[in-house]
Structure 1
C-alpha cells in the first residue's frame, strides 16, 4: 500500500482550493488570491520538476530580501517533496558558501550573486518566474510523504560554522496542530470560516515567518510581505490593512517604542506575537500598556519549534497584578514536554536552575550530515536546548541564560538575562547586554553594554545607578565591573544579541 501524501502539504493545497477568491499573498504592489497562488505554485513546481527537482532532491534558494516569491517557491518545493534550504541574506549573513555546499542541492535558485564555491546548477529567480509564466497551471499530485525531509534550516552559526537542522513534513504538521487553520472538519470543508486578521510579515521568510505565512494560508487569511522592517512603513501597513496580526523580534518592539510616531500606539495592530530572543520585561510592559491588543510569546528554536507559550491571557494577568509573568516564557505548548535538568541529565526540582530539555513530535530529525552533533543534542528522544532556566511553582518557565554565556565570578554562576533586566529598570537605559571577560582576580568579571533611552545621554552617573540596581536585586558579584555605551547592540541574522562579538570586544578593551 502506497504511503499517504504528507498532511502538511495536502492541507495547504486543500486550503488554496477551498478559499479560492479570498486574498492570499501580497507584496511589491501585487496581490494574489488563493486560487491564483495555487496556479502559480503549479507552474513553478512544473518548471522545477522539469529541471530535475523532485521528492528527496535538494533545492536551495538564496534571496536578497523578503519578497512573496520566497513563499511561492517554498510551496512549490513542498508540493514536489523536495528538501528545501532557503536563505534570505542581509548585512550580517556569513557562511553562505558553507551552507550551499553542506545542504547538497541539485539546484540553487537565486536573485543575488552566489559564492564561487557553490557548485550546484544555478537558476536565476527571474528566469524561473518567466519560464513558469509560460506554462499551463496543470495540477500536480502531492509527492511529499510524512517522513521525508522537508527543510534543512541553518542556524546562525555564532558559535562556529552553521548547523543544518533537518525537519520532516510530519514534524511541520505537528508544529501547526492546535494553531490557526486547524478548525472543525465541517467548517474546513465548507470554507465558511471568516478570515483571520491580515498577517503583516516583517521578519525573515527563510526562518519562522515563512511558516507563519503558510499557517495564514491554511486558515484562509491574507499575508502582506514587507521587504524590510521600518517602524513608520510598518505602522502605515497596519493602518491600511487592519486589523493586523504580526510577529516581531524584541529589537523591533524597542524601535517602535522609541519612534515618536509609533510610541503611543499603532492603529490597526491587534495581535502581536514576539520571540526569537529574550525580551526585557520592563519594555514589554511598556508596549503592552501603550498599544493594547492581544500579545503572545512563543519560546522555541529551529531544532524544536515552539516549546512554551505565554498566552494573551497571561499578558492580561500580568497587567492585572502578576508582573512576574512578563519575565517568563510561559508554560509548555500542547504536545510538548519540558524538564529542567542538571549537568548529569537528572531532573531538578521546581525553582532550581538547570538546562532546559524538551520532547515533542515537532522536533528536528537531527543535524544534517552531523550524527555526532545529533547524538550530543538528542538523548533518548529528548532535545538539549542549551538554555538555562527554572520553572516556578505555577509551571511557568523562566530563562536565566544560555549555557555557554553564564559568567563564572569567584566560582559562582552569574546568569546574564536577570542582570540585563535589572539594568533596564533604570529609566535612562533602553537596552542592555551582559557578557563575561577574563579577570586575574575573579576568574571572570561581568561587563555590561548599555543603550541609552531616547532623550538620555551616556554618563558615568547613570551607569553607576543602573549597576547599583543590579547589586540591590542580586549580589555584589552580579554588579558589572565594566560598562560600555553603544547607540545600538549588534544582532545576529536571527535577531539575537551577538554575544560572541560583545565578548570579544570586552576582552580586547580589558
Structure 2
C-alpha cells in the first residue's frame, strides 16, 4: 500500500482518505491493540452494528499482529451472537453495539479509535505466519448453531492468488457486509491500488446515485440486491456508471439474471464458493455473454472450477458419478479451511483425505460447467424420491407473475414430505391462487408431477439471514404452522 501513498483509497460520502492515511490508521490501531494484549495467536472479535469503514483498518491491524480475527455485523437477522462470542474464545471484544458479557475483556470501538488517534503511526512488522489461524468466520446457522470456520494466513493467501485481478480502473463500491465477502474484496482492491467506496445502507436509489457519481464502478451484489434493483423503477432499465458486477451468495433465478445482464450490460461474474472452501467455480464474463447470445442454459450453472481447485461430484459412498448425474460436490485446494473451530467431530464429517464435502448437490454438464441442484439437507423427499429445490425455484420464477421463489419441504402424512413454495409477486401482480397454479404447472411441465408444490404462500419479501440468503429455517417454521 505504501507505493500508492498519495492516491485515493477509501471513500465514505464526501470524505476520501488516501492510502497513506489508511496505512497510518492501521498502524495506530495495531499499536493500541498490541498494548491491550493482542498479538500473534490472540483472539480478537470485532462487533459492529453497521458497515463502518474502520473495521477494514481493524482487520489490517489484526493481520499485521498475527491475531485470530472474528468479525460480526450485528443486525435483526443475526443468529447466536452470545454463542459466537463464547465459541471464538476472544482475548478482546471490540464493539460499537451492546454485546453480551462472556468473560472476555470488552473495548468500545469509539475508545479504541480515540486511543489510536493519540498515537504516532509507527510501522508494525508483520508477525503472522502461514500456518497461524487468521480468521474464524461463522456460518449462517440456518440449520442449527453456527460453526466457526478456521482459515490460516496461508489459505487466505491462496484464495487471493486464485482470484482475478481487481477490475482495472473501477472504483469498488461495497454494499454488503464488510465482515464477510465484501471486506476481502476491499483488501483485494487496495492491493491493486484501487479505490474503495462504502455505501451504507443499501437502497436502489442510493446505489444508482453512487454509481453515477463514482463510475466506472465494480461491485459485489447479493441475489436479493439484484432482484431489488430489477424491481425498482429507478434502476430497472439500467444503472449508469455500473461497469462490473460480481454475485454468488445464493442461487439466482436464470430468467431474472438474464433480465439484469441484458438490461444493464457491463461485465458479470459469478463466484460459487463457501466459507469452508473460498471460491470453487466461476461463471466468467465470457460465459454471461455467451448465455445472452444463445446459450441461456449457462445462466443456470455456477461455471467451471477455478485454477488451483479440484472438483468432483460423488455419490453417498464417495464414488465419482458420471457427467449429468447428481451427487455431492467435493473439492480440494490450498484455500480450504483447516477445520471447524473447536469441533473436531464436525470437521471429520466434512474433511476426508484432503477433500472437503461441501454439502451441495450438483452435476457436471458435458462442457465442464457445474450445475447446483440443492443443498444436501434441503432435499425434499416425496414418496421416497429426491426433489431438488433449485430447479423447482427456477421453474416457478419463469412465470411472469413471480419475482422470486423459494422452496422448502414440510411433513406430510400422505407423501412423507411435501413441496412448499414461497412466492414474491412481480410488479403489477398480487397474491392470486390462479397465478400460483399456473406457476406450479410450469414446474410439472419442466420437471415431474412429484416436483409440483402442494402448498404455495405469497410473501411481500423473503426473510433473509444475516448473510443475505433466504432464511429457509424461518420459512420451514412458517410452512409448518400455516395453511396456503
Which TM-score band applies after superposition, normalised by the shorter structure?
over 0.9
Distance 2:176 2:433 in 1: 36
Q: Which of 411, 420, 426 in structure 1 is aligned with 2:393?
A: 420
The answer for the alignment partner of 2:434 in structure 1 is: 461
CA RMSD, 1 decimal = 1.1
The answer for the alignment partner of 1:383 in structure 2 is: 356
TM-score (norm 1): 0.93
Q: Which of 306, 309, 325 in structure 2 is aligned with 1:352?
A: 325
Distance 2:157 2:27 in 1: 21
Cα contact 1:199–1:244 (8 A) shared by 2: yes
Query: 2:344 matched to 1:371?
Result: yes
Correspondences of 1:319-334 after superposition (within 5 Å): 319-334=292-307
Distance 1:90 1:172 in 2: 26
Distance 1:103 1:379 in 2: 24
Instruction: Extract unaligned runs of 5+ from structure 2.
Output: none
The answer for the alignment partner of 1:142 in structure 2 is: 126
Query: 2:9 matched to 1:18?
Result: no
Q: CA deviation at 1:154?
A: 0.7
* Residues 401-446 of structure 1: CA deviation (Å, up to 9, x unaligned): 1111111111111111001000010001000111111111111111
Cα contact 2:272–2:302 (8 A) shared by 1: yes
* Residues 455-478 of structure 1: CA deviation (Å, up to 9, x unaligned): 111111101110001111111111
Distance 2:333 2:133 in 1: 17
Distance 2:242 2:177 in 1: 20
Cα contact 1:28–1:67 (8 A) shared by 2: no
Distance 1:377 1:496 in 2: 22
DSSP 3-state at the match of 1:346: coil
Cα contact 1:272–1:296 (8 A) shared by 2: yes
Distance 1:280 1:361 in 2: 31
* Residues 37-56 of structure 1: CA deviation (Å, up to 9, x unaligned): 11111111011101110000
Q: CA deviation at 1:509?
A: 2.3
Instruction: Extract unaligned runs of 5+ from structure 1.
Output: 1-15, 183-193
Correspondences of 1:23-62 after superposition (within 5 Å): 23-27=8-12, 29-62=14-47
The answer for the alignment partner of 1:160 in structure 2 is: 144
Distance 1:497 1:203 in 2: 15
Cα contact 1:180–1:219 (8 A) shared by 2: no
Cα contact 2:79–2:466 (8 A) shared by 1: no
Q: CA deviation at 1:331?
A: 0.4
* Alpha-carbon distance change, 355 to 331 in structure 1, aligned in 2, over 3 angstroms: same
Q: Which moved more, 1:91-100 or 1:290-299?
A: 91-100
The answer for the alignment partner of 2:54 in structure 1 is: 69
Correspondences of 1:104-253 after superposition (within 5 Å): 104-116=89-101, 118-181=102-165, 196-253=169-226
Q: When the two structures are aligned, how many residues end up with a matched partner?
A: 483
Q: CA deviation at 1:127?
A: 0.7
Q: CA deviation at 1:180?
A: 4.8
Correspondences of 1:94-109 after superposition (within 5 Å): 94-109=79-94
TM-score (norm 2): 0.98
Q: CA deviation at 1:211?
A: 0.3
Query: 2:308 matched to 1:308?
Result: no
